[in-house]
Amino acid sequence: MAVTDSISVFAEGTFEEQIQELVFYIVRNQDEERSVLLRPFQDAFKTENEKKSLAEDTERRQNIFAMVMAEVKGLGDGSDKEIEGFFNLLFSHVLSLHSYDSPKTKEYVTQLLGTVTSAPAQHTAIKYRILSNFFNALPRTSPLRYLVYNSLLETALSNDGVEVLQLSRAEVEKWLSEWDISPEEKSTFLKSVVDAYAKSGQPTTSYEYSLLYVRSLPATSETAKAAALDVIATALRLPFTFDFDPLFKLDAVVAAKGHDLFSLLQVFLNGGLSEFKAWQQSHSGVLEKFDLEVTQLERKIRLLTLASLGFQKVGQNVPYSKIAETLQVDASEVEKWVIDVIRAGLLSGKLSQTTQSLHIMRSTARTFEREQWEVLEKRMLAWKAGLAGVLEVVASARRQNGVHGIATSA
């Protein structure tokens, strides 16, 4: 269930008719108390000669609506359509009677959001509808959107899981650029998204939002330091995360360069199995502290090392013996590791048991710095030379055919 662009919620009838509709809904199943509850509203609607009419008296309308809000205790006993209409009308009055940035508006919105989110689970579908309607009725810059979407996240986590919201990183980044909220609130919202995906059993998506969260924090703050270490550990822990270069573009991560985890991250960006084992020997207890498993890390560093070897040898045949030496494994295990690295999407190639070699067709670079650009330059020059040779062969063939054609016609 995805929210859409801002829309308007229209309410028909006069203010008095709309308030009566709200009150009648509230008291519909309270036969004994109905007259008691209705009487204060009937009195409030009366206009004495010396008073302004209800349509002209904003303060009076605000007071009457405050009386309605005091009676809103839950979703009520109507059908889903009636419940949706009831809350649409409530939100409409909140936004029409008070400015978007007034404390009273925030108070009412917070009250209504709490009423909706605390409703029983059997009303989950209508809860999504109500919250989505209100989100879409708000201007794109409204800070209230921040509050409403947090309620949507809370509802999703309590019921179907966050995937029902069909959230995307691009959408979140766009919202944060639009919402008129503080940097601290933006960071808080991103953290709530990170936690929501983690609790929904989607650690990879949670990690992707963690990058946005860390980027949103002041790099030298204590919160940023803790978040940077957490995102490094998460990246190392996730079995199918092999691209560590984005982490080095985060100021908070770079600011943690004196930490043991940062030096381990550098190994996974540029080093191999030997460097990992050397780091492990000199940093006893660090892996356990951050819930990192040696076996899993060794697997990742071997796959990354094989990918780096492949990047250097694109278009070439690499002997099994060279792969075994690089990965520090027995030659009999080479094919298993090659299959693993291909499945991970880090490399493409063909194994040959006859020649005991791997022909590299494509491989992923772990980072793109001077060394990788030089390799790419050499490869491009080689391809250019090869294409020049092909063009020369074609041109030569055309010349020969041209000469042959003239001789035949003569």
Instruction: Write down the residue that tokens 């030089």 correspond to.
Output: 374
Q: What would the mean pLDDT of 85-89 be, rounded to a whole number?
A: 94
Do the bridges between strand 357-363 and strand 347-352 make them parallel or antiparallel, or are there none, so unpaired?
Answer: antiparallel
pLDDT band at 409 (very low <50, low <70, confident <90, very high): very low
User: What sign has the CA pseudo-torsion 276, 277, 282, 286?
Assistant: positive
Structural contact between residues 326 and 306, judged by C-beta atoms closer than 8 angstroms: yes
H-assigned helices in 159-293? 169-178, 183-199, 203-216, 222-237, 251-254, 260-270, 273-282, 286-289
The answer for 201, left when phi > 0, alpha when psi is -120 to 50, beta otherwise, is left
324 shares a domain with 280: no
H-assigned helices in 102-168? 103-117, 124-137, 144-158
Distance CA 244, CA 266 (A): 9
Opening angle at CA 174, ends 173 and 177, nearest 5? 85
Which among 292, 314, 342 is the end of a domain?
292
Question: Is residue 343 in a domain?
Answer: yes
278 shares a domain with 190: yes
Question: Is residue 97 in a domain?
Answer: no
Higher pLDDT, 215 or 367: 215
Lowest mean per-residue pLDDT among 36-45, 69-78, 88-97, 297-306: 36-45
274 shares a domain with 214: yes
Domain that holds residue 216: 184-195+203-292
Q: How far is CA 278 from CA 236, 284, 303, in A?
A: 17, 11, 18
Q: What would the mean pLDDT of 178-197 be, rounded to a whole number?
A: 96
Q: What would the mean pLDDT of 318-335 be, rounded to a whole number?
A: 96
260 shares a domain with 305: no
Distance CA 99, CA 143 (A): 12
Q: Which amino acid is residue 398, in one-letter code? A: R
Give me the number of domains the chain comprises.
2
The answer for 9, left when phi > 0, alpha when psi is -120 to 50, beta otherwise, is beta
Statement: residue 401 has pLDDT above 90: no
Instruction: Write down the residue that tokens 């009677």 correspond to.
Output: 97
pTM greater than the 0.95 cutoff: no
Which among 292, 319, 337 is the end of a domain?
292
Q: 324: domain CATH number? A: 1.10.10.10
265 shares a domain with 308: no
Statement: residue 243 has pLDDT above 90: yes
pLDDT band at 189 (very low <50, low <70, confident <90, very high): very high
Q: What would the mean pLDDT of 204-230 be, rounded to a whole number?
A: 96
Distance CA 277, CA 29 (A): 72
Distance CA 304, CA 270 (A): 9
Question: Is residue 113 in a domain?
Answer: no
374 shares a domain with 350: yes
The per-residue pLDDT for range 348-398, each reduced to its tens digit, is 999 999 999 999 999 998 874 555 545 555 656 655 767 777 777 777 777
338 shares a domain with 262: no
Statement: residue 122 has pLDDT above 70: yes
Contacts of 171 (CB under 8 A, 6+ apart): none
Question: Is residue 157 in a domain?
Answer: no
The pLDDT, as a whole number, for residue 10 is: 45
The pLDDT, as a whole number, for residue 95 is: 92
Backbone angles phi, psi at 292, to 5 degrees: -110, 135
Give the three-class secondary structure for 20. helix
Q: What would the mean pLDDT of 264-269 be, rounded to a whole number?
A: 95
Question: Is residue 219 in a domain?
Answer: yes
Question: Is residue 221 in a domain?
Answer: yes
Distance CA 410, CA 151 (A): 89
288 shares a domain with 363: no
Distance CA 97, CA 62 (A): 6
Distance CA 155, CA 163 (A): 12
265 shares a domain with 284: yes
Q: What would the mean pLDDT of 185-201 be, rounded to a whole number?
A: 95
The pLDDT, as a whole number, for residue 373 is: 47
234 shares a domain with 278: yes
The pLDDT, as a whole number, for residue 371 is: 56
Percent residues over pLDDT 90 in the chain: 70
276 shares a domain with 190: yes
Question: Is residue 337 in a domain?
Answer: yes
322 shares a domain with 252: no
The pLDDT, as a whole number, for residue 394 is: 79
pLDDT band at 7 (very low <50, low <70, confident <90, very high): very low
The per-residue pLDDT for range 24-38, each reduced to its tens digit, is 898 887 766 677 777
pLDDT band at 406 (very low <50, low <70, confident <90, very high): very low
Structural contact between residues 23 and 41, judged by C-beta atoms closer than 8 angstroms: yes
Q: What is the mean pLDDT of the chain?
A: 88
Question: Is residue 123 in a domain?
Answer: no
Statement: residue 78 has pLDDT above 70: yes
